[in-house]
Amino acid sequence: MESYFPTLSVDKINRKNALHHTSALFLSSSYEQDEVINMLLSKGANPDDGLWIAAAMGNIGLVKKLLDAGANPNGKNYQSHTALFYAAMYGQLETLKLLLSCGASPNQDSESSPLLMAVKNNHTEVAQVLLENNANPIFSNKKGIQAIHLASFFGNERIVKLLLQYGVKKTVLTLEEKTPLYFAILGKQKYLAEHVLLDEVGVRLTLSRAIKENEGEVIRYIACLPKYQGAPVYPFLHTPRFFQPKPREGKQITYLSEITNRK
């Protein structure tokens, strides 16, 4: 192999597979072939090509080697993701700390973020370190989903409370106007819904959206909460599908009675 590489230019050494966008350094890094990695780097291989896979695998020794060889801690691959993104996705805490100490930004990705990936995969300590290093707590993806929506759905109380400490609102909406409470109910996270996220504004917004989407599970859940069984249902019915009933004289329509009496 050593005798073969001198005949190749740097461009050829860094050439990527057209289908998978992988280079020789990426493949040797993924299989942790140290001898091949060292040779490729000595021949001019781009160290960025191995950094993302090394970060994903948590191979902190290789990450250090590639950074020492000049890898850009904020470099992006063909999917526009950074090494920090993959370290967060796979919960590689020590690798993540190393990348941050070398200047990696927690806010580089455009359609997602390391924080969203950490929360989605339930890596609580990773999420905490990212927030401590100025990760944007209200970053949202193209659907307007923030970390608090994901944490609510998956029932990670610690992350939800941490995000609230960083100023995230309980009532923040996605582009589909769904609240963290909405996600917690869909995720069957009863304790989180009732003891952390529940408030008057959140209930109003959540119920309004649930009625628009005919999301019976969310409507029934709120209707059965003791605190809200006596509250009027009709102010929330804003779509043609659900008429706004007038309460009969001497009787007020409630969440619970309206739902149970509907045929």
Residue 118 is encoded by which pair of tokens?
Answer: 């950490």
Tell me if 86 sits within 8 A of 55, measured CB to CB: yes
Between helix 93-101 and helix 60-68 the angle, nearest 10°, is 20
The DSSP-derived string for 84-143 is: HHHHHHTT-HHHHHHHHHTT--TT--SSS-HHHHHHHTT-HHHHHHHHHTT--TT-B-TT
Distance CA 146, CA 153 (A): 11
User: Looking at domain 1-110, which CATH architecture does it have?
Assistant: Alpha Horseshoe (1.25)
pLDDT digits (tens, 9 = 90+) for 87-136: 999 999 999 999 999 999 999 777 899 999 999 999 999 999 999 999 99
pLDDT digits (tens, 9 = 90+) for 130-159: 999 999 999 999 999 999 999 999 999 999
Pick the most confident of 64-68, 110-114, 207-211: 64-68
pTM for the structure as a whole: 0.84
Distance CA 82, CA 55 (A): 9
